[in-house]
Amino acid sequence: MDDFDKRDNEEIYSKKVRAGKRTYFFDVKSTKANDYFVTITESKKRFEDGTFVKHKIFLYKEDFNKFVEAFEDTINYVKTELMPEYNFDEFTREIYKSNNDEDTNETNKY
């Protein structure tokens, strides 16, 4: 098996974001055609039985720009129109320290 075959749906890059009771994973994966796509996974532990509930979005290259634009517009709307008094930067500093100490490329992350 050559390197090309080994990369089929192989994880190329991963970024983990812990956010309270949830963890988000942003993963870049490859296809057989040497193309790339992104998966965004939300993982949340259920306290009742300790299992993880996961939701996954597949994002393909042709949608990257539209997705980023809509996401940024939505976040900016919340920040400027709905919650202009909230200090989002302060919250970012608090969680950055805890996230910065963790390995973002864990193999058994889900």
Q: What is the pLDDT of residue 10?
A: 78
- Express each pLDDT in 30-78 by its tens digit: 998 989 999 999 999 888 888 999 999 999 999 999 999 999 999 999 9
Going by the DSSP 8-state scheme, the letter that residue 52 receives in this structure is E
Q: What is the pLDDT of residue 97?
A: 57
Q: Which CATH number fits domain 3-100: 3.40.50.620, 3.30.1490.190, 3.90.700.10, 3.10.450.700?
A: 3.10.450.700
> How far apart, in whole angstroms, are the C-alpha atoms of residue 13 and residue 99?
17
Strand, helix or coil for residue 73: helix
Residue boundaries of the structural domains of the chain: 3-100
Q: What is the pLDDT of residue 6?
A: 46
Q: What is the pLDDT of residue 102?
A: 52
Q: Which residues pair with 39 in a beta bridge?
A: 27, 58
> How far apart, in whole angstroms, are the C-alpha atoms of residue 72 and residue 80?
12
Return the closest-CA partner of residue 61 out of 84, 33, 21, 85.
Answer: 33
